[in-house]
Every structure is written in C-alpha cells, then in structure tokens.
Structure 1
Amino acid sequence: MDLNSIGNTYQNGKDILKVLSEMKSWQAGLLAAGVIAFTGANTYLIIKEDSKIDKSVYISEWQRAAQGDLKETLSKPGVAIPQSEYPVYFSEEDGTFSKFLVKPGDKVTPGTPLYEYESVNLDRDRNRIESEIEQLTNQIDSVQNHISSLNNYLSALEAEQAYTSTDAEKEEKDLSVSIHDTEKEILLQELEADLLEDERDKYEEQLDYVNEQTGVMSYLSEIEGQIVSISEDLDNPVLMIRSEAAAVKGKLDEKELQKVVQGQETAVESGTLKKDFTGRVASVQTMPETPLSTETQASYPFTVELDQAQEKLENLHPGMQLNVEITTGEAKDAVVAPSKSIMKQNDKEYVIVLNSVGKTEKREVQEGLKVKGSSEVVSGLEQQEPLMLHPKPAAEISREFFTPFTMDKFYPGALKHMTNREKLKYFLLGMFNR
C-alpha cells in the first residue's frame, strides 16, 4: 500500500466513524476490533518484502502511442560557392574540326550541339553509340527484373504477415523488418533504373544525330548551363560550360559524416536575402580537408546543389553565409511512442503496455528513428495503445495496475449522495483491494 492510498483511507475514515457512531456500543467495538485486526494483517502482508501476496502496480505516468511523421534533421552553416565549370575537349583522333555552334553567353541543355567536326569514321562512332545503348538497355532490364523479383517477394511477405498469429510476436516482428527493408530496396532499384534510362536517352539522341549526318558530326553537351569561354585556337579545353545549378559548401565532423549521404534533401536559408531554397546533397568527401592529426578533429566537406531556376539565384553570390538543414532520416505514417516509454534490456527494446484487461504487459518492440523525445516503433506496437513512462527492467509484469486520482472526476457533493452502507463498502474496497 502506498502513501497516497493511506492518505485516502484516512480521509474516508472520517465518514466511517459516522457509520460506527450509529451502531450500538458493543457492535461498534466488535466491528472496530475486526477492522483493526484485518487492516493490520493485510498491511503487514503488503509491506513485507518476501510476501507472496499479489500487489497492484501504481502507474504514475502513462501516454498513448500515436500515428505520425518523424523527421530527423542536421543543421549546419554553409557558404555559397561559385557555380561549377565543366571543360569540353576536342581530339584530333575524332576527325577534323569544322566550327563552333555556340558562343559565350549561350545557354545549353543536355543534347545541345557545341561544335562540328568531320568524322574520320562515321561507322565507328555509330557502333560505339549503339554499343553504349545496348549495354545500358541490358543494365535496365537487369534492374527491372530485380525489381519484379523484389515485388513478388514483398507480396509473399505481406501475405505471410496477414496469416501470422498475433501471438507469434517475434515472427511478426521479423516479417515487419523484412517488409520495411524490401520496400526500401525497391525504391533504390527504381531510382537506379531511372538514372540508367536518362543516360540511355542521351545516347539515343546522339545516335539520331549521327544517323542524320553524312560524315559531319557534332559534339553534344552533357549538362545544362551557360557557355563562359571558347578557345578559337582549339587549345583544350575548347569550351567551358558553367552549370546553372548554384552550390553550397559546408563541413561535417566525424559523427555527422556517418549520417549524411549523397541525395538527401536539404533546406537552405539565406538570412541576408530573406529567402529559402531547396536542394540535395551533391557530394560528401570522406577524406578530411584538414591535415590528419590526433590533436584536432577532422572536418569533411560536403556540397549541396540547389534546385531553383537560375533567375531566382541571381543575388546569391559566392561567399554569402547560409544555413543548411539536411534531412538525415524520415518516417511517415509511423507508430510513434514517447522515447521515455522504451527501455533497453539485454540488447533488446521493450515497453510496458497497459492492456485492455487492466494488467501490465511487457512487450518487445523495435525502435526506429528517434527525434526529440519521440521514437518510431517499427514493430511490436499499435497506435493508441497506452504505455507506462519511465519503465524499469525490474517493473512488475502481468499485474493489475492503478493510476493517479484525478480531481476533475471528484466533486465534494459526491459523498452526500451515498448511504452509510455505500460509504463503508467503498472504504473497505479502498483499504483491501489488491
């Protein structure tokens, strides 16, 4: 019995005295002696450390699991850097140079002809391009077959999960993890297929152009940007193209390096321009830019390529200070639980669920993304299930529980509507209920 219960018992005792006062003296004395003896015996059994009496568990704090989105971000300072420049070369082995098809200031896109030359072997160029297209097509087919196999495997896992017994918690947890990993792999393979198809499209454009020529070839741009210089003397590089996409540079420490990868979404803020930009991590260098030393922490450069059109970036000049927020993890429509409801024991994670039959239930779960006191629960828990906060490994399991008394459900006039017999009944229930 805890102090709160004793305090409540004391308050309720005032009403019991009224009941006793209405009885005859010998009846009241007998009842009082019985109550005292029964109370003393039960109090001893409850407090006694090695007592086998089944005690209730007091849950001081609890909260329900919910459904929601979690996003883990990393905020880093950055600086605007000059747009990347790409050199274009001409080799006399390809043929005889004819003329430039662009001039400084011109904007180009992938597939734009940059210069013409008379090919010494048109068939050789055609065969080379066709070989590239065939190789890319085979790669795409291989990736598509792999995606098809993964989808079949995913369907089998989902079907197996649908027929898995709810009592088989470990099996259901393993299935949930496998489904999650398979869905992730499918997305990566679909991205790989898209990139390969884009590359094949470029070669098909080159092949179309070659087939239209009669010995005169054009070198096609591979990027989108602006021509910044031309070498009329044909000194390599004969052309320089500046990428339209502006970039941001920042630094990571060794812990942050483990979280940031190419392709992650970013939000970039300029305090000077009062503008926000979006982009993606373009590169992460795994070699530090600082000298290797045991005395200083290494820093690893990363770059972000911005998505905005060039006209929106005109006032973003090299050297401007920016804040970069990198999305390092994201979980959508996830089961979310308070991080303080999850305990670790023997390299496993558990929660104490307050189940529908009024007992505590220790349940193994798998914790995923953790953000600001909230945790994604990948398996083992459903939304809206109530959880004990701050559980301990030695928490009582499969015991009846009770929660704090709430004043909003109590009003002073409640006792006035009870008979003396009801008051005595509830007093005894409060005293001896396990």
Structure 2
Amino acid sequence: MSGKWKIAAVSIASIVLITVNIYLIEKKESKVERTVFVENWTKVKKDTITDTIQTKGVIKPVEEYDIYFDTKKNDFKKFLVKEGDSITAGSSLFEYTTTELDALKANLEAEKTAAEGEIAGIEEYIGKLRSYQGTLTSDPEKASIDESVEKNLNIDITTGSSDLIKSNIEQEMYKQELEKNSLNEKVKMLDAKLSSIEEQSSAIVTTSEADGVVKNINKNLNNPIISIVSTNMAIEGDFSEEEMKKAEVGMTIKASSSDSKKALKGTIGRIHSYPAEEPSLKKDNRFPFQALIEPEGEETEPLLVGSKVNLTVITNEKAGVPSVPIEAVHYQKQPHVYKLTKKGYVDKHYITKGLKAEGKQEIIKGPSVGDVILMEPNVAVKNHSYFITPIQFEKVKAATYKKFTSREKVRYLLLGILEK
C-alpha cells in the first residue's frame, strides 16, 4: 500500500504543478505571460560619433598659373627657362621685343612712382599710429588723435577703453606693414623690369609673379606659352550627388597614401557646384573638389604629384554624447528603446534621435548614460514586462548559495520554475 500511496502522491503533485503552470500561463496579465528572456543587452555610453564620407583623391599642385604672349604687338626672342625648372617670384621667363618700349617704360615708371607714393603714405600713417600709441601709454588724458587715424581705426575713442584702442592700433599697424611689404615687393619687381629695359634697349624680359615649377612651354607660341604650377600640394577628387548633400567647404579631411608614412590632414578648400561633365540621364554626376593639405613643418616629406590617396571627409562629429548601438533602437510609430530596470522590468522609452554613424545612434532625449538597454529581442516585448537572463555559471559560487536561508532557497527555486 505504501508504494501505491507514493505513486498517487507524486501523480497528484505533478497534476497540481502542471495545473498551476497552465493557469499562470493562460491567466491574463500574468507574470509568466509577460516575462521576457533577455540574452543580449548593452549600456548607454558616453561616446564620440563621427559621420564621414569615404572617397579617393589624387595629389596635385594647389594652383596653376598661365603666362600669355601677344604675337600681334610683340616679336618673341627666346625662352629663358626649361620645363621642370624651379623658379621664384621675379625669375626671368622669356624675352621679346616691342616697338612700344618707351611707352612701356613710362608706364612702369608711373606704376613705380604710384607704389612709392603709397609706401610713403603708409609710413606717414604708421608714424601717426605710433605717436598716438605712445601718448596713450605715457599720458592718456592728453592724448589727441588725428582725424584720419580715428576714422580708419573704426572705434569711438570717447567710449572705448585704452586697452581696446591700443589693441586696434596694433592690428592696424600690422595690417599696414603687410601692405607696405607687398608694395615694396612690387617696386622691386618694377625695378627689375626697368633695369632689363635699360640694359637691353631692344628686348623686354617677362618675369614670374609667383614661386613654382615650369610645367609646360609652348614653343609654337600658342597661348598660354608657359604654364607654372605651385610647389604647394592639394588633393583633388569628386563627390557623388549624395555626398554633395553632406559636403561643405571648410570640413576637416584625413588622407592616407602608400607614398607617405604619415596621415595627411587638411580641409576642403573648394567644391564645384557644377558637374565635371555635362549632366546626362545615362550617367551619374560627379562634382570636383579640392582639399588643402596642412603643412607639418620643414621635415614634411615631399608629396609625389599624381599619388593616389584614400580620403576621409568628416561631415559631422559629436564628442561625449549618450549613444547606443543602432540595433537597440526600434521604430514602431516612434523611435524607442527598451530599458532594463533594477526592479526587473522591461520599460519602453521613446527617444529623440541625434547623429547616426559608425553603427551608433546618439540619444538627445531618453535614457541616461549607464542605463541598461535591451538588444534585439527575439520576441515582441510588452511594456513593463518582467525579464529574466541566462544563468552565468562561472559567476555562481557555492559560498553564495550557502548564505541563503531554507525559505529563500525554496522561494527562488519555485520562482525559477514558474518564471521559466
């Protein structure tokens, strides 16, 4: 009899257990019905998100200068440079003769006189600035200012502080010194031309206006007869229509090349708003751009013209912003994420999205940094559901189990059976 009673007791217990489980599963709003099994989760992290354009480019000179020659009014004599020559501003390029030599000389002398007059005016103006600056320092109350100086400074001296006025004076003097240096260079160039005319009364020498390398010489005298390229290098490439919507002048670039050990840095200097080729329905439009390379000191290795580079254009970058992987964001009606709370719930939180790039989504408004977020659930999640996670056996220790009371052991065992 005892054996039959044991079998009967086990059968009754099994039926009760199964009945209770079925009831809990089928019961509306029961814990079992609303429990989510969570295997993957992440945290809202403070991160840097960078949106970029990945494209290719080629190393080319920043500028190209063309030299023209009028064969109708002048007779060409000879070239004074060869293709590949490195030249500086003022270098002689070619000689020619003209019947208008005297008129040319007079024009050059007039231009030189005008430049020297401007230099004299600038020196006088700088003298007035220095005088007023000195008076401000020694005796501000007795300082008087010339009307022309006050007008050019563009500041009300009756209300402006002496420090502000001194700062404006320093800036104005620096600006005028730059203009003076530019005019002095112009006078030197004019002197060189006049000396050439005087030394060779029958020939005129054309000089270069900038440093560079002679790229091409047209010995048939078809214009341009000489092309000069600058020694400074840039990166040229083209954007697609989609990339054009994101690209802007001034954006930071990074480039890498097999010819250079160091990464190149710089900014977008120019973007053509018209396609490189005539627009057509049969092909995609490409828009040329030029990126200026930042110099990195005298030890920078020379760049080979024509080198191919991989170019990264940084279109947007946000540092230290809350973000989650894009897989954690859901889009039923409104963008939202599921937050795992410390009390064991899965709560839906609507978010305001920010920058999205590199597999990360910025959260402008929503959960905070450190909050735990559910990653791609395998089943549909109801708001405010309970959640359970897999047992991490490597973290289960006998010492921890021994700390539970008998009541707690039974409670957690039954809870695990019912939840599962």
Matched, 1:53 2:36: no
1:322 and 1:57 map into 2 onto residues whose CA distance is 50
Q: Rate the CA distance shift 1:238–1:275 in 2: closer, same or farther, 3 A.
A: closer
Structure 1 residue 237: Cα displacement = 10
Q: What is the aligned partner in structure 1 of residue 56 from structure 2? A: 77
Q: What is the aligned partner in structure 2 of residue 371 from structure 1? A: 357
1:390 and 1:246 map into 2 onto residues whose CA distance is 48
Alignment RMSD (CA, Å): 4.9
| Alignment partner of 1:250 out of 213, 234, 237 | 237
> Could you tell me which amino acid in structure 2 is paired with residue 365 of structure 1?
I
1:390 and 1:342 map into 2 onto residues whose CA distance is 8
What does the per-residue CA deviation read over 1:322-347, in whole Å, with 9 as the maximum and x for residues that have no partner? 2222222212112221111111232x
Larger mean Cα displacement after TM superposition, 244-253 or 289-298: 244-253
> Could you tell me which amino acid in structure 1 is paired with residue 12 of structure 2?
A
> Could you tell me which amino acid in structure 1 is paired with residue 183 of structure 2?
S
Q: What is the aligned partner in structure 2 of residue 330 from structure 1? A: 317
* DSSP 3-state at the match of 2:327: helix
Q: Rate the CA distance shift 1:116–1:296 in 2: closer, same or farther, 3 A.
A: same
2:336 and 2:15 map into 1 onto residues whose CA distance is 42
Q: What is the aligned partner in structure 1 of residue 100 from structure 2? A: none
Matched, 1:317 2:304: yes
1:292 and 1:33 map into 2 onto residues whose CA distance is 83
Matched, 1:305 2:288: no
Q: What is the aligned partner in structure 1 of residue 265 from structure 2? A: 278
Higher helix share: 1
Matched, 1:105 2:88: yes
- Contact 2:61/2:231 (CA < 8 Å) preserved in 1? no
> Could you tell me which amino acid in structure 1 is paired with residue 369 of structure 2?
Q
Matched, 1:429 2:408: no
What does the per-residue CA deviation read over 1:59-92, in whole Å, with 9 as the maximum and x for residues that have no partner? 222111222222233222111112315799xxxx
| Alignment partner of 2:278 out of 277, 291, 302 | 291
2:370 and 2:55 map into 1 onto residues whose CA distance is 36
- Contact 2:57/2:235 (CA < 8 Å) preserved in 1? yes
1:400 and 1:68 map into 2 onto residues whose CA distance is 29
- Contact 1:288/1:301 (CA < 8 Å) preserved in 2? yes
Q: Rate the CA distance shift 1:62–1:413 in 2: closer, same or farther, 3 A.
A: same
| Alignment partner of 1:343 out of 321, 324, 330 | 330
Q: Rate the CA distance shift 1:310–1:65 in 2: closer, same or farther, 3 A.
A: closer
Q: What is the aligned partner in structure 1 of residue 209 from structure 2? A: 239
Q: What is the aligned partner in structure 2 of residue 6 from structure 1? A: none
1:209 and 1:269 map into 2 onto residues whose CA distance is 36
1:136 and 1:361 map into 2 onto residues whose CA distance is 63
Q: Rate the CA distance shift 1:416–1:278 in 2: closer, same or farther, 3 A.
A: closer
Matched, 1:397 2:376: no
What does the per-residue CA deviation read over 1:45-66, in whole Å, with 9 as the maximum and x for residues that have no partner? 5157xx3424322222211122
Q: What number of residue pairs does the alignment pair up?
A: 317
TM-score by length of 1: 0.58
Q: What is the aligned partner in structure 1 of residue 79 from structure 2? A: none
| Alignment partner of 1:407 out of 393, 397, 415 | 393
Structure 1 residue 272: Cα displacement = 2.3
> Could you tell me which amino acid in structure 2 is paired with residue 58 of structure 1?
F
- Contact 1:87/1:239 (CA < 8 Å) preserved in 2? no
Q: Rate the CA distance shift 1:323–1:414 in 2: closer, same or farther, 3 A.
A: closer
- Contact 1:64/1:383 (CA < 8 Å) preserved in 2? yes
- Contact 2:88/2:211 (CA < 8 Å) preserved in 1? no
Q: What is the aligned partner in structure 1 of residue 114 from structure 2? A: 119
Pair member with larger Rg: 2
Q: Rate the CA distance shift 1:398–1:208 in 2: closer, same or farther, 3 A.
A: same
Larger mean Cα displacement after TM superposition, 240-249 or 269-278: 240-249
